[in-house]
């Protein structure tokens, strides 16, 4: 390994004791709440999907895929899809 690259890698290592786990947890919880508040349509569609599919997803492994509800697309253009929040930004 090139000594210069090795040196840069060492500089970027963070001391884990410098991270306050309570602050990280508070930020995580705040972001999770914000995520859910900004996606009420996805939450409603997930509840509706639970009437037809186990846990509202087509495959059992998808239920544990994320630590938040799935984001359900409401529009698409070719390979690009978006939620109800992003549709109005498309030109």
Query: Tens digits of per-residue pLDDT, 34-82?
Result: 988 988 888 888 899 899 988 888 888 888 887 777 777 777 777 777 7
Q: How confident is the model at residue 29 (pLDDT cuts 50, 70, 90)?
A: very high
Question: 3-state DSSP call for residue 53?
Answer: coil
In a domain, residue 26? The reply is yes
pLDDT score for 68: 77
- The answer to whether the pTM exceeds 0.95 is no
In a domain, residue 11? The reply is no
Q: Is the pLDDT of residue 31 over 50?
A: yes
pLDDT score for 76: 74
Number of domains into which the chain is organized:
1
Q: How far is CA 24 from the centre of its chain?
A: 16
Non-local CB neighbours of 76 within 8 Å, separated by 6+ positions: 82
Supply the range of the domain harboring residue 30.
16-89
């Amino acid at each position: 390994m090139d000594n210069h690259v090795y040196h840069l890698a060492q500089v970027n290592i963070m001391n884990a004791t410098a991270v306050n786990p309570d602050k990280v947890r508070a930020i995580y919880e705040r972001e999770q709440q914000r995520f859910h508040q900004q996606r009420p349509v996805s939450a409603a569609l997930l509840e509706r999907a639970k009437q037809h599919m186990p846990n509202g997803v087509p495959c059992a492994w998808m239920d544990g895929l994320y630590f938040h509800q799935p984001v359900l697309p409401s529009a698409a253009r070719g390979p690009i899809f978006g939620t109800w929040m992003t549709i109005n930004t498309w030109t």
